[in-house]
Structure 1
């Protein structure tokens, strides 16, 4: 990751980011298409709907693209990480971890005790990464012909 990207701030996305968000989701998730035989949900999702229905945070990248994006949904008792997308040129350099840390900070700032996420069961490297970061598998559900693994990380002890 370039120093410029490493220092770039995470900012709230706006409707002006729609095309760049769509392009990033495609770039970040295309590697999974051969594995599952279809576009993963974040790749196929309408960027305008994400911006309208979710809380989207982004990191600007070089050449007028996005280096990363984080899609969140606030629930009563947790914060859901719906998607973490990192440009392939930035993967493996810590930006995904930075976005996950940001999500956890957002949850704590809202007094939410837990962060949850889900991933395709076939994305074994994601499952291993999340487990390494303290997320625990809480269940598996069938969704649209795929198995989704639900994971959670408790951030604060319940009183």
Structure 2
């Protein structure tokens, strides 16, 4: 079965909502209230179209997604000096369905995000994730992201670590 990487469309909102609920459920189970654990379709729509979004479609099922905002959204810019740095893009809501992990889908989306940012003259790609999510932080570090600062999102039960990496044409 082949995977199709494509831009997200309005028709994907329901499937992406189900996907992010499944992908982030393990974090909810340990008390981390990521927005994605229970976001509505309206929030999914907002998040998908606040930047450039992609999905990976496997046999008609959306199994992975990511969004890049350039510039980063105003909410993260209020919290993060990294996000306010000129020519910085922001990686949002990278998610792979738990039953499809380990197949390189997240890496493929990351490479797409880096290419998108590079093609628009961004110099850095930033992101934020829950400080207690050590596995996620280790994966991003493996991909070249460096921890830069800590921020606190209103209503979250955890601090978030802001990470960034340079954008180079290593596709």
Query: Normalising by the residue count of structure 2, what TM-score does the alignment of the two structures yield?
Result: 0.80
Given that 1:119 and 1:148 are in contact with CA atoms closer than 8 Å, whether structure 2 keeps it comes out as yes
Aligned positions of 1:54-133 closer than 5 A? 54-62=51-59, 64-75=60-71, 77-133=87-143
Residue 36 of structure 1 aligns to a residue whose secondary structure is coil
Residue 53 of structure 1 aligns to a residue whose secondary structure is coil
Give the Cα separation in 1 of the matches to 2:104 and 2:137: 16
Give the Cα separation in 2 of the matches to 1:55 and 1:152: 18
Aligned match of 2:167: 155
After the TM superposition, list the runs of 4 or more consecutive aligned residues in structure 1 that deviate by more than 4 angstroms: none
Residue 37 of structure 2 aligns to a residue whose secondary structure is helix
Decide whether aligned partners of structure 1 residues 61 and 43 sit closer, same or farther in structure 2, where only a CA change above 3 A counts. Answer: farther
Larger RCO, structure (CA 8 Å, separation 6 or more): 2
Displacement of 1:37 after TM fit? 4.9
Aligned match of 1:23: 18
Give the Cα separation in 1 of the matches to 2:67 and 2:116: 12
Residue 159 of structure 2 aligns to a residue whose secondary structure is strand
Aligned match of 2:6: 11
Task: Tell me if 1:41 matches 2:35.
Answer: yes
Query: Normalising by the residue count of structure 1, what TM-score does the alignment of the two structures yield?
Result: 0.86
Alignment deviations for residues 18-46 of structure 1 (CA, whole Å, 9 cap, x no partner):
111111111111111121253x1123332
Alignment RMSD: 1.6
Displacement of 1:99 after TM fit? 0.8
Residue 103 of structure 2 aligns to a residue whose secondary structure is coil
Q: Which segments of 5 or more consecutive residues in structure 2 lack a partner in the other structure?
A: 72-85
Given that 1:24 and 1:65 are in contact with CA atoms closer than 8 Å, whether structure 2 keeps it comes out as no
